[in-house]
Chain A
């Protein structure tokens, strides 16, 4: 698709917007509709669009497969890690309230961290699935 000017230009124009919207959905998740899963899918979709237009090799330069696989695990560890930290702080698993001085702030911090974990894992899984399909000979 590299030689088709219109898809290439449109992709270049839209990809930053898609990623920005993904980040909006990610960080607005605790106030409105959205959250880690949707944000992860949107950011993953932006990367996949890049891969479709500019080819697999370019995408591999942007997001090396090893790092993407690592991110799958790291997002998940962030989620579970928040749970373990609350346990160390003396509360139950994923009881966010203890993460800050007030219950409300703790819930905020907890849910944001967990959603970031979900977002990282989902985006990385989306890209991995794309690699798996696109990389088949």
Chain B
């Protein structure tokens, strides 16, 4: 049974999705997605434990052995990402019931959960697979379903946001496919481990350089690094709250995982960082992303949009860590995937509660929210503190490793820039806090606290934001092991 877990990780949500269509019932669909998410979470924890005990797990799909068949290959890096995705999904689906009933047309709810489960299994598949072409297939599964889910937002602008994302996402996925095709034409294999072995022999060829360019630009589009981010703010703003929370916490994160996987363990850091100025290009794009998107976030009037721009800045931090090509930088990137998923997940869930209770997520509409919805407001404060990177929150840990990485790399000025940009985060978080707690007039006099079924999942994430700010042996410890593994593998 244990040996079948890698397949079940993807197959269970994949089978649950059409089951929701068969039942055509919103309660059953909601229950199915909760059970499936929690089951997947348990599976991912068992897989992580197995990886820690025995090392890399390989699963031959259909019994066709790698490199001919499709291989699911689980190492310390992607088992960690699997835990993040399934964990966030468990929390989000438990939270989802009331929010979805409020935001989605009743007769479409079962389809909503179908799409959700497809997206979930697509993300899991992208993470778990050891086959470059299979990654593309799962990118398409997760993206197509996420377009549909974004378009289900209540605001009509959700449709145009979804269409923009569809165009950009398709360009990204196509670029990725062209890159994979070029790699295949040069090496004759699609298996990741096999590619890593064969690529060094053809490092000199221009086709591999072009393939690397296509793949990295395609993925950068999916993970929305500035200036390839234009689809993201509208998509997160107008999508249903549950979808915003899930996408921001997992979808871009899985794309970042793919970038790390291709950069470090397929092309190898020798190729990526020594022969070409990849580090400088990625780092400068990230710095611009951090500064510009934080500045833009300050001037937003819609809080979901503010959080979307903040996500873009945080993606900048992660890619900056990736570009350092040293242990601390990579640890910072991987641990920030985890930490940011927690805090941004909590923030978007809190916004979902605000939308449910008040019916708006504009800053001007939440005057005095701190008194009326004390728990939700406090969750926003903690999530915000983690975005800034205040000590005892999870965000601090990532910033700490990131600054260590910058110093290791010898890029001193960057460390200072990082500290200064935290102040920008402070400004946009403060704008929300000020309106919630320090305004005398209030325009939310009749509202009550969000229902307990939404508060509990929100507070699970908030508690974890604090817990992983104090106790880092799980998050940062694993991230460091993964970073060591990646650098050891390619060095």
Binding site for B on A (CB under 8 A): 69-70, 72-74, 76-77, 80-81, 83-84, 87, 91-97
The CA-CA distance from A129 to B291 in the complex, in Å, is 44
4 closest A-B pairs (Cβ-Cβ)? A95-B63, A73-B18, A93-B7, A73-B21
Extra 7 A-B pairs, beta carbons < 8 Å, given A69-B21, A92-B61, A94-B63: A76-B18, A77-B18, A80-B11, A84-B11, A92-B60, A92-B63, A93-B62
B14 at the binding interface (Cβ < 8 Å): yes
Given contacts A73-B22, A92-B4, contact A84 B15 (CB under 8 A): yes
Report whether A80 and B21 are in contact in the complex, using a CB–CB cutoff of 8 Å. no
Q: A80-B14, A83-B11 are in contact. Are A70 and B63 (CB under 8 A)?
A: no
Instruction: Check if B21 sits within 8 Å of A87, measured CB to CB.
Output: no
- Is the contact region of chain B dominated by helix, strand, or loop, or is it mixed? helix
CB of B186 closer than 8 Å to a CB of A: no
Proximity string of chain B (1-38) to chain A, C-beta cutoff 8 Å, 1 when within and 0 when not:
00010011001001100110110000000000000000
Determine the distance from Cα of A81 to Cα of B60 in the docked complex, in whole angstroms. Answer: 18
Residues of B that sit less than 8 Å from A by CB: 4, 7-8, 11, 14-15, 18-19, 21-22, 59-63
State whether B62 touches A94 (Cβ < 8 A): yes
**Chain B residues, Cβ within 8 Å of A91:** 63
B18 and A92 contact, CB distance less than 8 A: no
Can you give 13 contacting A-B residue pairs, CB < 8 Å? A69-B21, A70-B22, A73-B22, A80-B18, A81-B15, A83-B7, A84-B15, A92-B7, A92-B60, A93-B4, A93-B62, A95-B62, A95-B63
Bound CA–CA A77/B17 (angstroms): 9
Minimum C-beta distance from B122 to chain A (A)? 14
Contacts of B11 in A (CB 8 A): 80, 83-84, 93
Cα separation A93 to B69 with both chains bound (whole Å): 12
**Bound Cα distance from A41 to B11, whole angstroms:** 26
Question: Given the complex, which residues of B lie within 8 Å of A94, measured CB to CB?
Answer: 61-63
Docked CA distance A94–B15 (Å): 14
What's the Cα separation between A94 and B4 when bound, in Å? 12
A81 to B21, CA, bound (A): 16
B59 cross-chain contacts in A, Cβ below 8 A: 92
Taking the nearest CB of chain B, how far is it from the CB of A128, in angstroms?
Answer: 11
In the complex, are the beta carbons of A72 and B62 less than 8 A apart?
no
Report the minimal beta-carbon distance from B179 to chain A, rounded to whole angstroms. 25
Knowing A80-B11, A87-B4, the reply to whether A92 touches B21 (Cβ < 8 A) is: no
In the complex, the chain B residue whose C-beta lies closest to that of A93 is B7
Residues of B near A84 (CB, < 8 A) are 11, 15
Q: Does B7 contact A70, Cβ atoms closer than 8 Å?
A: no
For the complex, give the distance between the alpha carbons of A70 and B240 in Å.
Answer: 26
- Within the complex, the shortest CB–CB distance from A74 to chain B, in Å, comes to 7
The answer to whether A93 touches B61, judged by C-beta atoms less than 8 angstroms apart, is: yes
- A83 CA / B15 CA spacing, docked (Å): 10
CA distance A87 to B59 in the complex (A): 12
Task: Evaluate contact between A70 and B21: CB separation under 8 angstroms.
Answer: yes
Query: Which residues of chain A are near B61, meaning CB under 8 Å?
Result: 92-94
Q: Determine whether the beta carbon of B4 is less than 8 Å from that of A73.
A: no
Query: Are the CB atoms of A96 and B18 closer together than 8 Å?
Result: no
- Bound together, the chains give a CA A94 to CA B62 distance in angstroms of 4
A74 touches B15 (CB 8 A): no
Q: Closest A-chain residue to B60, C-beta based?
A: A92
A76 CB contacts on chain B under 8 angstroms: 18
A69 to B20, CA, bound (A): 11
Chain B residues closer than 8 Å to A77, beta-carbon distance: 15, 18-19, 22
A69, B22: Cα distance in complex, Å: 8
Q: Which of B4, B14, B15, B63 has the most CB of A within 10 A?
A: B63
Determine the distance from Cα of A93 to Cα of B21 in the docked complex, in whole angstroms.
Answer: 23
For B62, list chain A residues within 8 Å (CB).
92-96
Q: How far is the CB of B25 from chain A (nearest CB, A)?
A: 13
Chain A's nearest CB lies how many Å from the CB of B465?
Answer: 36
A31 CB → nearest B CB, Å: 20
* Complex Cα–Cα for A69 and B62 (A): 28
Interface-central residue, B8, B11, B14, B18, by most chain A CB under 10 Å: B18
Which of chain A's residues have a CB closer than 8 A to the CB of B15? 77, 80-81, 84
Nearest CB in chain B: distance from A124 CB, A? 11
Measured between beta carbons, the chain B residues less than 8 angstroms from A97 are 63
Complexed CA–CA distance, A112 and B266 (Å): 36
Whole-angstrom distance between the alpha carbons of A87 and B21 in the complex?
24
A69 CB contacts on chain B under 8 angstroms: 21
Determine the distance from Cα of A76 to Cα of B63 in the docked complex, in whole angstroms: 21
Cα–Cα distance between A14 and B7 once the two chains are bound (Å): 44
Chain B nearest CB from A9 CB (Å) reads 38
- Which chain A residues border B7 with CB–CB below 8 Å? 83, 87, 92-93
Cα separation A87 to B15 with both chains bound (whole Å):
14
Q: Which residue of A lies closest to B6 (CB)?
A: A93
Query: Closest approach, in angstroms, between the C-beta of B407 and any C-beta of chain A?
Result: 47
Output the least CB separation between B367 and chain A (Å). Answer: 43
Give the Cβ gap from A96 to chain B, nearest Cβ, in Å. 7
Q: Which chain B residue has the least Cβ–Cβ distance from A81? A: B15
Of the candidates B4, B8, B14, B18, the one whose C-beta lies within 8 Å of that of A72 is B18
